Structure 1
Amino acid sequence: MEKKYKTIKSSKVTISELMLPSNTNFSGKIHGGYILSLMDQIAFACASKFSGSYCVTASVDTVDFLNPIEIGELVTMKASVNHVGNSSMVIGIRVVSENIQTGKVKHCNSSYFTMVAKDSEGKNAIVPRLILTNHEEVRRFCEALHRKEAKQDNKNIKKTFDYTSPESLRDIESMDIKIEL
């Protein structure tokens, strides 16, 4: 079977939504969970568009809420594939909000979702390979590789770390934490 290649441009998706009072948290700002839900939707759309398959969310990397989003602001999310594996894709998402009266735009969030393509039987489906067309795409691809390696390193540390050893317990207590076992 001949390998299929696609450009990152072919994966790009943009959505915009006006933030309503019904989407607020107890402090009157737009609820982070609502923004995460929109991010999951655009990650799905981007991954499905690129792969031509139904896709599921496998993981969400660090989500930092940089600036609050106000009622009445227009939120725009942009997503594109940054990296591909055999059946997985790393989707980069950037979230900005715009005060539609003043025109002021602020960066609110960036995150990376790992999505997995599925076939009609629910098994992992092969995704197209990437064609990188500029240095920015190469940078994003390489950064995704580094995040993937760091994630694996962290898993390996968790497997080997002995949190019950006297040395580990002393290290924890040195942080002004009491341990009463």
Structure 2
Amino acid sequence: MRLRDETKERTIREKAIEMIVREGFDGLSMQKLAKAAGVSPATIYIYFQDREDLIRQIYFEESTRMSDITLNGFDPDMPFEEGLRVQWKNRITYCLQHPMRMHFMEQMRHSPFHEKFIRDANNPFIAAMGTFVKNAIRRNELVKLPVEVYWSIAFAPLYQLLKFHMSSQGMPETTHFVLDEALIDQTLELVLKALKP
């Protein structure tokens, strides 16, 4: 039996994330991954049962990482405005520190794997956000909305601004775009105005 090598395992995971982001899930084969990671295909099977197990393990690990960062300093009992500010700050931190992982998680959300894996992820983030929203509605700090509408208003503007920032380009007529504190505050104020009763 061969011993696990944490460095090799980490390299395999990182290269898999890169391949999925660049080529999609269909572009991830164990042969190509082994070549990119500088290992033999047999080495991958020391750490992962198969391709789906590899994707599942990466997803669980990244869900935990993202949850830890986005819940840092956040309390579901916070007033809505304060809690949303903490969420924006934490999500900006996660996206800017881990752009490749952010793209991986975005691709996961729109893949058949998401529904398959999310029930087993046991992520505290979903429960915390659910409690946060319920508390805000109960305290009359937030209008009652379907969760999809709430999410679209609360976070989609932030993620779009982050995409502009990370590409350094805004709309076609804008030559350069930088997301700064003033723009974050201005956008968040508009979001809060839209969500408050």
Q: TM-score, normalised by structure 1?
A: 0.26
Larger relative contact order (CA 8 Å, sep ≥ 6): 1
More strand by share: 1
More helix by proportion, 1 or 2?
2
Report the structure number with the largest CA radius of gyration. Answer: 1
